Amino acid sequence: MFRCSLWGMALLTALGFARVRAAEGDQAPPVGQRVQGLEFKDIRFLTRTLDDFGPKRAFVVIATNTTCPVVARYLPVLAELERAYRERGVQFLALNVGAGAEDSITEMAAQAVEAGVAFPFVKDVEGGCASALGLKRTPEVVVLDGEQRIRYRGRIDDRFRVGGERAVATQTPLRDALEDVLAGRAVARASTPVDGCLITGPAPEPAGPAPTFAEHVAPIVQRHCQDCHHAGTEAPFSLVTYRDVASQGAMVAEVVGDRRMPPWYGSARHGEFANRRGLDDGERDTVLRWVHGGMHKGDLTKQPPARMFSEGRWRIGTPDLVTTTLLAQNIPATGFVDYRYAVLPYVFRHDTWVQAVEILPDNPRVVHHANLAFMKVGERPGDENFITGRVPGGDPMVLDEGTAFLIPGGSVIGLQSHFTTTGKPERARLSVGLKFPRSPVRKRLYHQQVTTSRFQIPPHAPAHPVGAHRRLEFDATGVGLFTHMHVRGKDITFLARYPDGARETLLLVPNYNFDWQQSYRWTPGARKFPKGTELEVLAHFDNSDFNPYNPDPKATVGHGDQTFDEMMFGFYFYTRDDEDLGLQIDPETGAVKRPSTCNLSPGVDP
């Protein structure tokens, strides 16, 4: 079996080997050879094989990276070819063979979104797939028949070269090979030369002593891991002591090597965010060298002082107000649990300003996510009533000083909760904690949900587009962005179209993860949106068989609350530049001490 795992790549480099596949003398497997057993990672960081696509009449595997200009030119050509052959049983697959940070799984996924390519992009994280297929350049292609035998290897056509291009292709060897394979004929021209970018494996590991935990790894773990991985959090294990980290060494190496942890799903090519997570290349290399170099402890007296974590249950600190659901929810051992709804037993008798809000379950293992909204008694909440949510990988709502959220007087708050099973019967109750402002409130937090429920995702669609937009009727300062889709959500892009005609991509989440729904916060005051700005969102949904979380690829999927339905929500959070409220808030009740006559209407076209 030819493995393409990151573990193998790290092990090879740890032993001092660098596999440079650019050598022209390397022996390529002959046409006609069967190459079953190829393994690669998809945009969701899962190990996959060609068998995951089900029976196909042919496969087209293209060697790609994010830096080769010939690849960039050919992606639209390949997208058109794939659409032409999809219904004829041909599966296209982009095999990313790049070795640098610009070819991480997230950036690989971003390349597919920006090029408008619907077929899957996968990562050859070790290089074994390229070697097994005999790929030496990008964008070299290999055509496999339904039994995964090599039938063609070479160029796509003769249109684009490193040194120039033709207006129209005069030779189409890839298309010709596909027609031969689909017709059951021998491929007339089974190989062609490729003029592209040479594929190079990972560089040798630097010489010198292996890092130690105390001096090199402990500072990295403290900065990037321990906020989530310490006692009392939802993380599956702690990473506080040497023993903690060493006992999880293999897993740490895999997720760090994949750039899966610390979790961050925004493309680095768009937007600067204050809460961005991730290791730089030096930190990543240090962790990998430490794990594969023997996980040496070092002199523990030289490690940084242990971090102190709050012993309280609340990440926002002690709340000023806590309200808890009256009844516990009973969760079955197995099966799918429909969304459940609960109104909390507290009425806000007056307008209440809050600066921090947290949803806290007493049994967090069974709560996938929960949404909080306010409403008048007896009414259903609208989109504008949303307050905050508790989501995998997310943080509680903590606003900057001087900014607060308003819960109108006469309201109650309610929860929509998605519970998951654990293999045994469970119970859970949820509480909501609120903290009131201590300093004057100058700005009210608003949000705009750029969303639509008018969509139908066709069966087997690999990247079905759904878009929406809203218009700002005032100058605004951006606070942050958040997105919500279900398990068919593949990617989502946030854009701003300015009154002068300029268009900017604010955020691209190219490999959306239902289990890690993050917020993306700007540095306070950094993002300005003038009146007339169009806020846009474009999402794609993967209803194909290759989506490992797809409940039913044969279904036509519309909007709905349940996970087997879909949603498309893009949240823009902002404050209004024409507001200067100057409100003094009672820290015990959240009520205004001094009334204000300012206009608080959001002023956004629905």
Q: What is the pLDDT of residues 303-341, one digit of tens each?
A: 999 998 877 789 899 999 999 999 999 999 998 888 899
Q: Which pLDDT does position 391 carry in this prediction?
A: 80
Burial label, 258 (beta-carbon count in 10 A; 0-12, 13-18, 19+) = middle
Q: Which CATH number fits domain 446-579: 2.60.120.230, 3.30.70.100, 3.30.70.260, 3.40.50.300?
A: 2.60.120.230
If you write DSSP's letter for every residue of 15-52 in order, what string do you get?
A: TT----TT-TTSPPPPTT-B-TT--EE-TTS-EE-GGG
Q: Are 604 and 471 in contact (CB under 8 A)?
A: yes
Cα-Cα-Cα-Cα torsion 249, 251, 252, 253, nearest 10 degrees, comes to 90
- Tell me the CATH class for 321-442: mainly beta
* Separation between Cα atoms, residue 499 and residue 496, nearest integer Å: 10
**pLDDT tens by residue, 55-83:** 999 999 999 999 999 999 999 999 999 99
pLDDT of 466: 98
Strand partners, 432: 323, 359
Question: How many other C-beta atoms are found inside a 10 Å radius of the C-beta of residue 530?
Answer: 14
Of 483, 553, 535, 550, residue with least CA distance to 512: 483
- Domain 6-198 fold is Glutaredoxin (3.40.30)
Q: In the predicted model, what is the mean pLDDT of residues 198-203?
A: 80
126 pLDDT more than 90: no
Average pLDDT on 5-24 reads 34
Q: What is the pLDDT of residue 28?
A: 87
Q: In angstroms, rounded to a whole number, what is the distance separating the alpha carbons of residues 481 and 570?
A: 7
Using a 10 angstrom Cβ sphere, with 0-12 exposed, 13-18 middle and 19 or more buried, the burial of residue 285 is middle
More confident residue, 232 or 400: 400
- pLDDT band of residue 605 (cuts 50, 70, 90) is very low
The residue with tokens 């806290």 is: 360
Q: What is the mean pLDDT of the chain?
A: 90
The percentage of the chain sitting over the pLDDT mark of 90, rounded to a whole number, equals: 79
- 171 to 433, 513, 546: CA distances (angstroms): 67, 41, 32
Listed by start position, the domains of the chain span: 6-198, 213-302, 321-442, 446-579
Same CATH fold assignment for domains 321-442 and 446-579: yes
pLDDT digits (tens, 9 = 90+) for 432-491: 999 999 999 999 999 999 999 999 999 999 999 999 999 999 999 999 999 999 999 999
Is the pLDDT reported for residue 378 higher than 90?
A: no
pLDDT higher than threshold 70 for residue 282? yes
Q: Which parts of 44-85 fold into alpha helices (H)?
A: 69-85
Assess contact for 39 and 7: CB atoms under 8 A. no
The pLDDT of residue 232 is 72
CA 393/CA 520 separation, integer angstroms? 12
